[in-house]
Amino acid sequence: MALAEAFPTTLVELGLVDCSIGDVGGLALLAWARTAVDARMICVEGNDFSADVKSGFADLGRERGSLLFVV
């Protein structure tokens, strides 16, 4: 997902709800989120993620307690 590559790592909140994003986009968002150390909330519910990608978001949320994922 080219859009995720364009997001600045300084974003604090990101909302992409019901955007029909699939696993490729979800993995790109996860890669971006790992570099966005100031991110506090990422809302991506209502997209077409597999259980594995959802698990990746949950894992990152547990690793970074200050980051809330809504999947």
Domain that holds residue 62: 2-70
Please state the domain count of the chain: 1
Residue-level pLDDT at 1: 64
- What global pTM score does this model have? 0.91
In three-state form (DSSP H/G/I as H, E/B as E, the rest C), the secondary structure along 14-68 is EECCCCCCCHHHHHHHHHHHHHCCCCCEEECCCCCCCHHHHHHHHHHHHHCCCCE
Q: pLDDT value at position 31?
A: 96
Q: How confident is the model at residue 2 (pLDDT cuts 50, 70, 90)?
A: confident
- Please state the rounded mean pLDDT for residues 51-70: 94
Indicate if the alpha-carbon torsion angle 46, 51, 52, 56 is positive or negative: positive
pLDDT tens, 13-55? 999 999 999 999 999 999 999 999 999 999 999 999 999 999 9
